[in-house]
Amino acid sequence: MERKAMCPGSFDPVTYGHVDIITRTSAIFDEVVVTVFDNPNKEHLFPLDRRIDMVRRAIADIPNVVVERGEGLLVECARKRGINVIIKGLRAISDFEYEFQMAQTNRALGNTVETLFMMTRPEHAYLSSSLVKELARHEADISEMVPPEVVRALARRGDSRDGEANSAFQISGGDDR
C-alpha cells in the first residue's frame, strides 16, 4: 500500500523551513501532497495562486511531491485524497498550543486523520514567513531563508512601496510559518 502524507499550510511565502519539512516528509512517505490554503485568521501578502506557484517551484526537484490548492476543510481534502497522515513542522514550544488545537480539532472532525509533528532543524527554528516579510520590508538579505523565486517576489513587492502601494507590506502574518 502506498504511504501518503499531507503537508498543509498557508505558505505566505514558502521558506526553507517549509522546504526542509516537505523534503524530509518525502523521504518517509511514497507520496506527499502539499496543500496550500487561505488562512482566514491571516491577511495574506501573496494571493493563493501565487503562493501555490512559489511552493511548486521550491520543491520542483522532489519527484514524489505534488502541490495543490486547499479548499474547505483540511480533513476533507485529506479524505478525498485517501490520506490519513498530516505532517506539521514544529519550531518551538510557542507553536505547540496552536498546533495542538488544530490537531485536536481535526481529530474531532472525523477521526480519520493522524497529525504527526516533525521538529524543524535548529537552523530553521527562528524562521517564519512573517519574519521574512518583515525583513524584506527593510530590504535585509533573506537569501538564506527563502528560495530565490521568493526573494525576487518580495523584492518586486518592495519596488512598489511608494505611496499607497506600501500597503502591500502592511500585513502582519501573526504566527505564520
Contact residues: ligand PNS, CB under 6 A = 8-10, 37, 39, 42, 70, 73-74, 102, 105-106, 176-177
DSSP the chain: ---EEEEEE--TT--HHHHHHHHHHHHHSSEEEEEE---TTS--SS-HHHHHHHHHHHTTT-TTEEEEE--S-HHHHHHHTT--EEEEEE-SHHHHHHHHHHHHHHHHTTS--EEEEEEPPGGGTT--HHHHHHHHHTT---TTTS-HHHHHHHHHHHHT-SGGGGGGG----TT--
Residue among 51, 91, 124, 157 flagged as catalytic: 91
Cβ proximity to ligand PNS, 105 vs 112, nearer residue:
105
* Bridge partners, 7 (sequence order): 34
Cβ proximity to ligand PNS, 10 vs 120, nearer residue:
10
Q: How far is the CB of 34 from ligand PNS (least distance, A)?
A: 11
129 as an active site residue: the answer is yes
Cβ proximity to ligand PNS, 111 vs 160, nearer residue:
111
Cβ proximity to ligand PNS, 89 vs 154, nearer residue:
89
Q: How far is the CB of 164 from ligand PNS (least distance, A)?
A: 27
Residue among 10, 26, 128, 129 flagged as catalytic: 129
Which residue numbers are catalytic?
18, 42, 91, 129
